[in-house]
Every structure is written in C-alpha cells, then in structure tokens.
Amino acid sequence: MRQQLVALAVNLQRAGMSVDADPAAARELLEEMGDDVQQALDETAALAQRIYPAQLDARGLAAALRSATVSAGMPASVDVRANADRSPEVTATLYLCCLEALEYVGAGARATVTLRDEEGAIDVEVVEDGTGSSAAEARSDAELERLRDRVEALGGRLTVRSEHGRGLRVSASLPLSG
C-alpha cells in the first residue's frame, strides 16, 4: 500500500511537469492515477474490514460471517447458535478467527462455520469438507501462531487439525467473561 502511495506521488509530479509540454500524456497519466487511487481505496477498505468490520456492530456476528463467506466466493454454511451478549473483543476475535480459518480452506472445498454457547464459553468451529486442494497444508507456522495468540490473549484455546483428503478443522473456545 505504501509503495502505491509513493508511486502516486511520483506520478502526480510527472503529470504536473508534463501538463503544458504534453497535455495528452498528462491526461493519460492522470487516468492511470485515478485507477491506482481506486485500488488503494479498495485495499484500505478491505484492511479496515479485517481490523474491525462495521457489520459486527450494525448487523451482528452471524451476518458478518455470512458476508465474509460470500465475499470469499466459497460455498459455506454458517450456523450461529450463540447468545449475542459478549464483549466486542470476543466478537471481533471470533470473527477474525473464522476469517483466517476460511482462508485456509482449499479451492473447491465447502466449509461449515458453527458457533455455540457452551458452559461459560463460546465455541467456534470451521470445518473444510476435504474435497478441495488444501490450502491448510501451505499455511505457515507464523500464521497459525498469530491466530493462536489472538485466541489465547482472551483466555481461549485453539485447535487446528488437517488431514490429507479429510479436510481442515479449526476450533476455538473463548470464555464469555473475556
């Protein structure tokens, strides 16, 4: 993103210098810059959505998760049977945990996202059916640790299982007092 903004600044200077000498080239450069600005805006919006999606407050966790699966273009079912009474930190962590787990789902696979209240905790599970080419096998330990850190920071626990041909299962449990 930073590189895009630096390139935009350079191109803006170039357009300014060529506006009198070569107006057609300046117009072409400005059109390209317009496309670059739109791309930067789209990427910024996507980043903001990953940090804390507005849908969590406006429409709730279930709607935000359904929207995320549609945006990812994957066949998925979302089953939320959990009380909406939880802290914003827990809600955001649940959402981001599901989002990251969905990124591991292999191409062509179907995923199921389930959230349930369980004796003072909320459990989330993302299960890949194993029919696709597994992206889980390509995940890095750093990505998995980031997800684990996010869950454990709120006193929760995370389990990830992946078997060739059987799919991926990411489970997290967070205390509701978190």
The 10s digit of each residue's pLDDT in 13-70 is 888 888 888 989 888 988 888 888 888 888 887 776 666 677 787 788 888 888 888 8
Question: 49-63, 103-117, 158-172: which range is least confident on average?
Answer: 49-63
Phi, psi of 113 (to 5 degrees): -115, 125
| Number of domains forming the structure of the chain | 2
Tell me: do 145 and 114 sit in the same domain. yes
The β-bridge relationship of strands 157-163 and 167-175 is: antiparallel
Domain that holds residue 148: 59-175
Q: What angle do CA 61, 67, 68 make, to 5 degrees?
A: 90
Task: Indicate whether 82 and 167 sit together in one domain.
Answer: yes
pTM of this prediction exceeds 0.75? no
